[in-house]
Chains A and B, each alone.
Chain A
Amino acid sequence: MINQICEKINARVLAGANQSHREVKGVYICDLLSWVMSHAKKDDVWITVMSHANVVAVASLLDLGCIIVPEDIQMDQDALIKAEEEGIPILSTSMNAYDIAVELNKLGLGK
């Protein structure tokens, strides 16, 4: 599933490459962490421009499926290390959040 997403949005895997067969279900887009905390669902793809390690903590606590960073935003090194430890895939693409969501919709996510 993750590898299908990578192909569809032309993404690079920055962390959690060993999780490429993980199933994901929905899509959630928001950068306010406590908002995400109360609204994102298990196995969601989370699109966020936040690039620090706490993003990984949120994803891990909520059992999110993966993190996608849009528009080639650089992730902090310690976020990548933490994602590797926690087994959270992080994907990076040049597409913006809207275009990513459109492509994920075509893959049947969130339906």
Chain B
Amino acid sequence: MDVMQYNFNVEKDDFDRAGEASSNIKKILRQLGIDAAIIRRIAIATYEAEINIVIHSLGGEIDLEVDPSSIKIIARDKGPGIANIELAMQAGYSTASDKVREMGFGAGMGLPNMKKCSDKFEVESELGKGTTISMIMFI
């Protein structure tokens, strides 16, 4: 199998389309015959990253890279960045607005979920520049 790459755009505040990138990624991985348990973990992690871009960022994109031994998801946004990554990673920590909390977001579980679902997980963030989340799952 060659290395395959895909890219998905994620708009800020676009709740109608939120989840589409994750859904497409899930479909691609199914077609590639990836193990169902791994697809599930990737679907969860990608969805949380996608929703965070919609809710907390100015917009961004998600890259999917599949090679013979691993699947890599990179979620990148254009800001505003995360001031304190350690704090943001804590289960239950959320700065979500009342409006999105009313929709069921804001449990402060997204980043912990992503970490739990990944074999390798990394957050890089710079205020004013943006956040990049890299997740690798071995297959």
Contact = CB atoms under 8 A, between A and B. Distances in A.
B109 A38 contact: yes
B40 A62 contact: yes
B26 interface: yes
Contacts of A54: 15, 18-19, 51, 103-104
Contacts of B16: 53, 78
A61 B110 CA distance: 15
Query: Which of the listed residues B19, B40, B44 has the most CB atoms from chain A within 10 Å of its own CB?
Result: B19
Interface string B79-111: 000000000000000000000000111111110
A1 interface: no
Given A42-B40, A50-B104, A61 B23 contact: yes
Q: Which residue among A31, A38, A62 has the maximum number of chain B CB atoms within 10 Å of its CB?
A: A38
Contacts of A61: 19, 22-23, 26, 43-44, 47
**Majority secondary structure of chain B interface residues (helix, strand, loop or mixed):** helix
A84 B125 CA distance: 38
B49 to A, nearest CB: 11
A49 to B, nearest CB: 9
Contact of A62 (B20, B43, B104, B116): B43
Interface residues of A, number: 21
A33 B18 contact: no
Nearest to A50: B104
- Give the interface residue-count category, chain B: 20 to 34
A4 to B, nearest CB: 26
Contacts of A58: 19, 47
B115 to A, nearest CB: 11
Interface in B1-46: 15-16, 18-20, 22-23, 26, 40, 43-44
Contacts of A48: 104
B48 interface: yes
Nearest 8 A/B pairs, CB to CB: A57-B19, A34-B109, A32-B107, A33-B104, A61-B43, A50-B104, A38-B113, A34-B110
